[in-house]
Amino acid sequence: MKINRYVDISTIDREAKKDYIDRHSPFVHCAAEATAGEPFEVSVKLGNEYPHPDDFDHYIAYVQLWNGEVMLGQASFAPGTLANKPGHVQVDFHIVPVKNLKLTAMAYCTKHGLWQSDEVLVEVK
């Protein structure tokens, strides 16, 4: 299966291409540091500028959070989760880290396949 990755949309000329890349790309949002053994919140949001459709045949089916090669969690969605209107899927994961993290997110669009975020490093003290 092909894994799609985010490309800096400011470097792209065509608006349709910017829309396509941004709305499918997961972005990991969290603090740069965490405390070992303490709950730590990580948000994954699809798209920064452009909302993703929520149609019967075109929607985000799942969002996953990974630490390296270990999946930490997954949220699955059915069509209509966003009231059949374009929007930004967002999932808040709560994890308890014990060592430094290399976080990535994966999101699956039923029409445009699998998308991976950039890696986010978190120092655990």
Taking domain 3-124, whether its CATH number is 3.30.499.10 is answered by no
Return the number of other C-beta atoms located less than 10 Å from residue 95's C-beta.
18
DSSP per residue, 67-89: ETTEEEEEEE--TTTTTTS-B--
User: In the prediction, which pLDDT does 109 show?
Assistant: 95
Quickly state the pLDDT bin for 16 (edges 50, 70, 90). Answer: confident
Contacts 24+ apart (CB under 8 A), 45-50: 45/88, 45/89, 45/90, 46/88, 46/89, 46/90, 46/107, 47/22, 47/23, 47/88, 48/22, 49/9, 49/18, 49/22, 50/18, 50/19, 50/22, 50/23
- Structure-token match 């798209």, residue found: 47
The domain locations on the chain are 3-124
E strand or H helix at 65: strand 60-67
- Asked if residues 74 and 114 have their Cβ atoms less than 8 Å apart, the reply is no
Mean pLDDT over the full length of the chain: 93
User: In the prediction, which pLDDT does 9 show?
Assistant: 67
- Give mean pLDDT, residues 47-72: 95
- Structure-token match 């997110």, residue found: 105
- Give mean pLDDT, residues 87-109: 97
